[in-house]
Structure 1
Amino acid sequence: MSEGLMSGSTSTFSSSPTPEWLRMITSSSHVDDVVALTGGASRHTYRFRADGRSMIVQRQRQGSDRSLVAESHLVELARSHGVPAPERVASGTDDDGLEYHVALVVAGETIARKILRDERFAFARTALPAQLGAALGALGTVDPGDAPELDRIDQLDRFREVADELDVVNPVFELAFARLREERPDRSQSASIVHGDFRLGNVIVDERGLAAVIDWELAHLGDPAEDLAWLCAPAWRFGGSRPVAGIGEYEELLDSYAAVSGRTVDRETLTWWRILATLKWGIMCVQQARTHLDGVARSHELAAIGRRVCQTEDDLLRELNDVTDVLP
């Protein structure tokens, strides 16, 4: 079982937060069991106990421009509108000028293969598609004006730029870009808050289903169909046979989203965003492989992710030939 804002193995950092500092920022009398977790490129993450309560603190890495204070505000804003998310304890800036935020641990599992296969999550699997739709529906009720720190990002234009910067030469990717440009949905509607990486692995699941949505660092303004479709991309089905996160049907997700948000997303729009999601993942795979090959960060994991480009090519060809819905 993994607990907290994000799962990860223990690690050692040169400047772990002291119990004294954690007591101060959480207004606690006793802190113990401070353990470092892997926290990604933009932050350090630690689990600890304060007055007997399990908490997670994330601290900004030196040089990162991602605001943890703004992210903490966004998560609390989402919680106030019914999105299940970890409860905020504190946020601010430390003496080194680095931002941090603290939240209560949420018990549950984040590892997709366990959620999809373990017997203890059998009921959760039946409940999750509708719960995930309801969570995104609740997020859709948040006024974007209440999150002024978020920018509107055109995902098709952004990943065209990324592909060009990487000098990617891939006929399947170019075919997808052409189709997406040709069939782009109406962009005149007002923007909504988008999580940006809404999928298994970035949600905490317990035996009853969805316990919390985590990992909000890619949040931005955009079309809410982006989150719905990312959840349905073949890469994020983790071997499951059904289109929604490998465990559910489109109707369960979309009906639940509409019931909570008051907005409908048609299948044509969802399909466009799902194709873009697969294209984005393919470009991300190239990007991560280049990080290894160029010597920026030598990693077997990054190299292995690069081998998934051919899988995204196959997924895209299936999508572009309108056969995804009838094939595993």
Structure 2
Amino acid sequence: MTDLAASLSAFMARVAGVGSLSGLQRLSGGANMESWAFDWEGRDGLCSYVLRRAPSAEYMADRPFGHVDEAALVIAAHNAGVQAPEVIGVLADEDGIGTGYIMRRIVAEVNPARILAAPPPSLLNALGRELAHIHAIPAETIPDAIPLMDTAAALAELRARFHDYGGNRPIIALAIKWCEDHLPTPVKPVLVHGDYRMGNIMADNDGLAGILDWELAHLGDPHEDIAFGCMTVWRFGELDKPAFGLGSLDKYFTAYQQAGGVPVDRERFHFWLVYRTLWWALGCLQMGEAWRSGADSTVERVVIGRRTAEQELDLLMLLETEAPEAERLRTLSPSRPAPETPTGEPTTYEIVTAVQDWLGATIKPDASGHAKFEVAVAMNALGIAVRDLVAPISAEDAARANDFLKGRVSLADAGVLAQLRRDALDKCAVDSPKYAALQRARKLWRG
């Protein structure tokens, strides 16, 4: 941190004038990029900033555009009146801090759980309004590096990635085939934020305070953005409030349209809800591959690699209407037996449990900032290992997956939905037992 502080101080002196840096700390979370908060006291008094960076240019090598273009896009959004952060400077190679840019810090809440516990009444309307404003950002202000998404080509890429990751998850295969069969016709492209959801928006008592994380932006179908924040995983347990965990789809769509957004097509919305859930299922597998290859050795990465089960459960909930009514009405019986009480020397299960409990009782209370976040992730990882030791569950079946991709088997076939439901429940119970949608699925599917 000392080297970072020195280099950052030199950079700030160039862009903000002579001053002094204080309070440098890494912010919690950040699945892809690092975020560092700090204060700078200079000609404008004491001001707070955030450094968003990747530690090296190599980390950005496989991305469609780099931080220079990302910063330019955020500047264009801010200048268009969108509640995007104000960028004050972009890092160069000679700064020695990696790649990234500096923004004025927005003082507001970003934690979805805290926002959703007592959301500002205006927040859902504001999210609809701001999304319409993003989609209206003038094309001539958007950097040339921002890519155009061809939906058919993007779906073909998802299929290829699925095969690269083993091609052996039947529910993912089912979703790929469904998307291929329901590919929407192209529409006039707009700027798509690409990650417009709880976790990337900031709120205070007055409502929406800022929109973060523009690294996935592209030109494409506005319905992709409209749907993304409505995915089950981004509602953080608020299952009865399908729009961002805040309220109804009707209210959200109305706010978007009244602010100049395109008329919302419900079928197109549903396609993108399925597509982006599929995209994130594969994104989770990709995180695991990044850890396995050594490209990212953090515990967070390998844990996210096991969140695929959440998305498989959600995909099945979205697609099961394709099955005959008689299949949907069938109920399941519990399939996992209760574990036996161990005797004799401590089992591997008990040793891992002991380490997990020690982290929670001894290490986590004294940790702070990003370190506390990392302890929580480690405890989560050990929890998955404990449950896997009790009753190992595999979601992998290459033959069944291939049958779905080829169209030889579908949800119209007797018994297929029941088997997929059972598999999804059992896998999610190991990987994400606190996932709210798991409890809902159990009630619906087990009667």
Q: Classify the TM-score, shorter chain.
A: 0.7 to 0.9
Tell me the residue number matched to 1:129: 124
Alignment of 1:33 with 2:31, yes or no, is no
For normalisation by structure 2, the TM-score amounts to 0.63
Aligned to 1:61: 55
Are the aligned partners of 1:44 and 1:61 in contact in 2 as well (CA < 8 Å)?
A: no
1:139 corresponds in structure 2 to 134
Deviation at 1:59, TM superposition (A): 4.2
Counterpart residue number, 1:196: 194
Choose 1 or 2 for highest CA Rg. Answer: 2
**SS of equivalent residue, structure 1 residue 232:** coil
- Structure 1: give runs of 5+ residues left out of the alignment: 1-11
Q: 1:43 to 1:111 in 2, by over 3 A?
A: closer
Alpha-carbon deviation of 1:18? Answer: 4.0
Partner of 2:270: 271
1:261 partner SS: coil
Is 1:103 aligned to 2:103, yes or no? yes
Q: How does 1:15-34 map to 2 (within 5 A)?
A: 15-16=4-5, 17-26=7-16, 28-34=17-23
| CA-CA distance at 1:199 after TM superposition | 0.8
Q: Distance in 2 between matches of 1:128 and 1:184?
A: 32
Cα deviation per residue 1:158-182 (whole Å; 9 max; x = unaligned)?
A: 3223222222311111111111111
Tell me by how many angstroms 1:13 deviates. Answer: 6.9
Higher helix proportion (structure 1 or 2)? 2
What amino acid is the match of 1:85? A
1:3 equivalent in structure 2: none
Aligned-partner residue type, residue 140 of structure 1: H
Q: Which residue of 2 aligns with 1:149?
A: 145
Measure, in 1, the Cα distance between the counterparts of 2:297 and 2:100.
29
Aligned to 1:214: 212
Distance 1:290 1:245, change over 3 A: same
Structure 1 position 69, deviation (Å): 2.2
Contact kept, 8 Å, 1:140 with 1:261, in 2: the verdict is no
Query: For 1:240-255, what aligned pairs fall within 5 Å after superposition?
Result: 240-241=238-239, 242-255=241-254
Q: Distance in 2 between matches of 1:88 and 1:295?
A: 32
Give the fraction of aligned pairs with identical amino acids, expressed as a percent. Answer: 27
Would the aligned equivalents of 1:23 and 1:50 in 2 still touch at CA under 8 Å? no
User: Would you tell me which structure has more strand in proportion to its own residues?
Assistant: 1
What secondary structure sits across from 1:108 in the alignment? coil
Asked if 2 retains the 8 angstrom alpha-carbon contact of 1:258 and 1:264, the reply is yes
| Runs of 4+ in structure 1 over 6 Å off | none
Mark the CA change 1:157 to 1:31 in structure 2 (over 3 Å): closer, same or farther.
farther
RMSD, matched Cα: 2.5
Segment drifting more, 154-163 vs 72-81: 154-163
Q: Structure 1 length as normaliser, TM-score?
A: 0.85
1:56-109 per-residue CA deviation (whole Å, 9 max, x = no partner) reads 233453223442221122112112223111122233525258554222111111
Find the aligned partners of 2:302 and 2:18 in 1 and give their Cα distance. 46
Q: Describe the shift of the 1:262–1:286 C-alpha distance in structure 2 as closer, same or farther (beyond 3 A).
A: closer
Aligned-partner SS, 1:167: coil
Q: CA deviation at 1:195?
A: 1.0
1:299 to partner: Cα distance: 4.2
Query: What CA deviation, in whole Å up to 9, does each residue of 1:90-129 have, x standing for no partner?
Result: 3352525855422211111111111112xxx34x1x3222
